Amino acid sequence: MPSSPAASSANAATADAVADLPSHERYSGLIWLVAASFFMQSLDSTIVNTAVPAVAAALHETPLNMRSALTSYVLTLAILIPATPWLCDRFGTRRVFGAAISVFAIGSLLCGVSQTLQQLVAARVLQGIGGAALMPVGRYILVRTIDKRDFVKVMSTVSTFGLLGSVLGPLLGGALVEYANWRLIFLINVPVGIVGMWLNYREMPEYRLETASRFDLFGFILFAASSALLLAASEFAADETVRWGQMGLLVVLAIAFGAAYVWHSHRTEHPVADLALLRVRSVWVALSGNLLTRLGVSGMFLLIVLFLQVGCGWSPMAAGLMMVPQALGSICCKWLVNRTLVRLGYRRLLFGNTLIVAALLAMFALLGPHTPVALITLLVFVYGGFMGMQYTVMNTLIYTDLDVKYASMASSMASTTQYLSMSFGIALATLLMQTLLHGQDNGAYVVAFRWTVLVLAVITAVASRVFARLDKTSPTARHVSSTA
């Protein structure tokens, strides 16, 4: 039966009313889906950290040897993320996102039943295969769907959930290890994945091209080989007996594959990572600044957990609880991001905030087994606040001067840089700890922790010089909002 004119008029009025809503209200379901995926992926990037001593004991490994279970996941993300723009163009965002959630859940199940470190690493790689599409596709969808005037606010909300996953991961991991079983830290992803697939079916828009370009398989292989060889070299460097010959060979091969990719990318029409975007100053500053910053801070979750558990004798639950102030600091600071960015602009905000983060990292070197818990809590809270500011502003900088047609590629390159730097940051932190650790007693871990965070603070401070290269007239949040 055809609808009455009155009903049609009411439906049209409702549609007009929805269209008049701000984009962050019209697409609230989509924003929650992307935020949940960010949370789930970030959770798994850090949830293993608190459980490292317990998992190492269960699998008959040393805590520092567990780094492969951490780096294998984030490196897989970094290697596979460049393929996501082509996958979205070829198969559509809804199918790619749904498949990613499914594979991620299956990988989590296999992690939960692993019996050896090798099995756990293989399952973590499968997790990474699924997780590779979650963050870049989520960012791409938001860039395509959300109005630019609401984009910083939406990304701040989504980034908050991502950071919550990173910070609550150690807490949840510690609680499950202490009161249940370490395997549950992976198995809890299975029901979350089922809910995610249902939400994906309901809320995810479908963006795809009728005729997708040919996938740059050769470029993808060159990029993946270079990344994997660099991380393998860092694994050799972190061994108790450094094999300099093998490590040097891997580094040379990694550089050769990387140079070959640069040469190849200039000679193919649709490269897997379009280096031509680096001609835009805000893009290369965003990527290089992101890389250096995360190289300095990415290993801190693992370092703090080892410091508190092994160096200070804290329980896994107590060490995990110490991550809560960081989450609270980040949440408190998120509401200030937009107005601070409007006032200072990207250049001044990132330059100053990065130096503050570096100074806070150096202050961790003052901690010891007898430091009052209240003082540690305050430092972690303040550090979380400034890191929340740093992540949100870095994650939006790359899009400020780009047309929306480059959003997919920019999102892929940003996510790739993020996870490459995370994997190398974790490897660097464990390498420094391994090098500076003289003995296995509690005091030795405390001394190694102090010197390691000082080195990481210097690396982070260098990143501020990269952000200083932004144009003095670089946009603020207000200027970004005004561009259509």
pLDDT digit string, tens, across residues 87-127:
887 888 888 888 888 998 899 899 888 888 888 889 988 98
Among candidate residues 271, 298, 318, the one where a domain is terminated: 271
Domain that holds residue 244: 216-271
Coil, strand or helix: which one is 87? helix
Question: Which whole number is the average pLDDT over 158-170?
Answer: 72
**Whole-number percent of the chain with pLDDT over 70:** 85
Residue 20 lies in a domain: no
Residue type, 268: T
Query: Average pLDDT over the chain, rounded to whole?
Result: 78
Question: Is there a single domain that holds both residue 252 and residue 367?
Answer: no
Residue 292 and residue 370 in one domain: yes
Structure tokens at 138: 């989520």
The verdict on pTM exceeding 0.75 is no
Same domain for 204 and 242, yes or no, is no
One-letter amino acid at 77 equals L
Q: Is residue 8 part of a domain?
A: no
- Tens-place pLDDT, residues 459-484: 999 999 988 888 766 555 444 433 32
Check whether residue 142 and residue 231 sit in a common domain: no
What is the band of 74 on the pLDDT scale with cuts at 50, 70, 90? confident
DSSP letter for each residue of 278-331: GGSHHHHHHHHHHHHHHHHHTTHHHHHHHIIIIIT---HHHHHHTTHHHHHHHH
Q: Are residues 122 and 265 in the same domain?
A: no
CATH number at 446 reads 1.20.1250.20
Residues 464 and 334 in one domain: yes
pLDDT-derived band at 271 (thresholds 50, 70, 90) equals confident
Q: What helix, strand, coil percent values describe the chain, rounded to 5?
A: 80, 0, 20
**Total number of domains in the chain:** 2
Residue 207 near residue 93, CB atoms below 8 Å: yes
Q: Answer yes or no: do 120 and 224 share one domain.
A: no
62 lies in the same domain as 113:
yes
Residue 457: the pLDDT is 93
**Which has the higher per-residue pLDDT, 375 or 7?**
375
Domain boundary among 245, 271, 297: 271
Most confident of 34-38, 130-134, 290-294, 470-474: 290-294
Say if 41 falls within a structural domain: yes
pLDDT tens, residue by residue, 37-50: 778 777 776 677 67
Do both 69 and 37 map to the same domain?
yes
Helices (H), 209-280: 217-237, 244-265
Query: Average of pLDDT values for 274-281?
Result: 82
Q: Taking the CB of residue 316, how many other CB atoms lie within 10 A of it?
A: 25
